[in-house]
Chain A
Amino acid sequence: MAFVNLKNKEIQVKIVYYGPGRGGKTTNLEYIYQKFRNRINTEMVTVKTHGDRTLFFDFLPFDIGVINGYDVKIQLYTVPGQVKYNATRRLVLRGVDGIVFVADSMAVRREKNILSLKNLQENLSNYKKSIFRIPCVIQYNKVDLLEQGIPLLPTDILEKDLNSQLKRPSFQASALKGTNVVTTLKKIISMTVASIKRDLK
């Protein structure tokens, strides 16, 4: 639910990074935070457990400048990926405008990806939103693990599992090394802003 402030000429947009636990959602945000440190004038907020796992969410406000005379403020959130935290996951999705689904490319995580995507669909329907209509980008994370000899799922299998019906833009990425992190971010921002523009017409 983007908010348009006609007085300050400002639009606030909420983008949520969703996906299975230990998939790299927080790492995506940490990379963005490091990369654009000079443009982000607040600290990244993170609510995590002692074991360094996301408990509630991470939050990173990000100013992308002026589009059509409006100052666009992007608010990036992550959800806790662990299955048991569904209640908090659902809270973070409230008022979401765009989603990045961070899938784990490791072969052993195949089922977790599929379950997490189903869970996203259920939680969105809770807010009367459809995964088929909301702007969404899929990221196949951890491609860097191939160098270490860890078995990864081939892209066509990932596409078949997660994107055969959705047909959304998808990127192979390494959140740790930064590969395609910014590409993913740019894509979701442009899709979300375009969707808000359509909404407001």
Chain B
Amino acid sequence: MKFAQSPVLLQRLSPGRSRLVLVLMLAGFAALIGRALYLQVFQNDFLQKKGESRYERQIEIPATRGRIMDRHNDVLAVSTPVKAIWAIPEDARLSPAQVRDLARLLEMDVHELSRRLAADRDFVFVKRQIAPDVAGKIAALGLPGIHEQNEYRRYYPAGEMTAHVLGFTGVADEGQEGVELAMNDQLVGRPGSRRVIKDRRGQIVEDVESVHPPQDGKDVALALDDKIQYLAYSQLKQAIAEHRAKAGGIVVLDVKTGEVLALVNAPTYNPNNRIRLVGAQLRNRAFTDTFEPGSTFKPFTAAMALEKGSFHFDTPIQTAPGKLTIGTATIHDAHPHGLLTLAQVIQKSSNVGAAKVALTFKPEEMWTTLDSLGFGSPLKLGFPGEVGGRLRPAKTWRPIEQATMSYGHGISVTLMQLARGYLSFAREGDLIPLSLTKVDAPPLTGKQVFSAQTAHEVRAMLELAVQAGGTAPKAQIAGYRVAGKTGTAHKLEGGVYADKYVASFVGFAPASDPRLIVAVMIDEPSAGQYFGGEVAAPVFAQVMAGALRTLGVAPDAPMKPLIMAEAVKEGV
């Protein structure tokens, strides 16, 4: 029987019933449309986000920290990826054998490892900065609850040689000392991120949008020359051992550009392995430690005298009887000399002579010159912890202080400041700013402190000081004319001059057209010798000779073997 003939259809239905069905159906449709509207219009954003979170992933794109290189682009510091092993202690239920395996791979103590895995936390670092191949072996063990994550580790191939200049970075690859800290903004990389769609197998299928491209840190090219740096480092190390000194430092400057070609300090440390570091090793003495420069300061006194016009190269100064009493204090020469010219005062390093010269200056004019030479204020090379030394205001000077300052006592400087001061003699009386980074366009002239004439005359005096009859014949170098000045200063301990010394030598070569300044400071040599001419001058000669050869500077004197004369003992 067909549906159309069904007797049921013949029955009359009340109109109310069919209307009710119609209304119910309409209501049903209205509900569906309303729900669709609600989901697709009002809740759209929320749902879209929920959906995306099911298959979209935000991925961090790591950026590497910039490298630090020397002037020849040899790498001095580079970041390389390593792994950090972390654990979720609750998940990490390991058998004793598994713990032992893990401890062996991590080179950790088994008890220490068990203690960490038993920690009452959700996340614990087991060990950071481990080599990728070790991490690979750990991953191969397939231990539950043990995970790894990428991070970077900084390596310093030159190790302790460049430790003080470069400094180091922390676990999170951020600068903590030295250039790493000073130039952190430039070196640091900014990690990027991207949103992607991943498929079931975890493979990236599509980029939704590139949110931030990563920015790798910029490389920094330092002014250092790693050959000269090595030379200075090995010579300093040898000298410290030979003279059983407490500490020391060497600075090498390029006269033409103001670049710091080498900077070494001792004691030093290995930046690749910083366990058991002590503060004394960390200090970059050339920047952060001041000392009384002693006689290396006398050339500044001589230059001021020449500049004033009251003294000339050969103006006679009576230094007999080798002592000079000012008020209640008496200044001594190590050996009485008699009548000396200004040049000989420098050559033989007479304290009395220098003091007599200085007493003819007004305190203000002496202060102004010392200030313009950069003493008393930090050099502002951007190095962390840089100090300025002590140069008291001229108003407070008493005559005895002015006299002792003429030969470098009662004033304190850093080795870097002292080396920079000598720039004025090595150049034509002008000073240019120093630079730790490579300089492409050096300033042709700097701030004029002395006249060119004065600079030339002081240069001649400093040449006399390293020749026979001077205090530092051991600073001579075969084939080059050398100019320089020794310093031997008593150390101040608790306001009293102790029987401890700082031996120093600052000089430049070739004297006919100076290219390099080398400043050497040896703190507390205690193996018998303590004179600058005995302790620091030979180091200067070795470093300077090697550096000149490295740079291919043409000799300006005949290449003949040196005949060493006995040094004149300088005033202490």
A and B found bound together: no
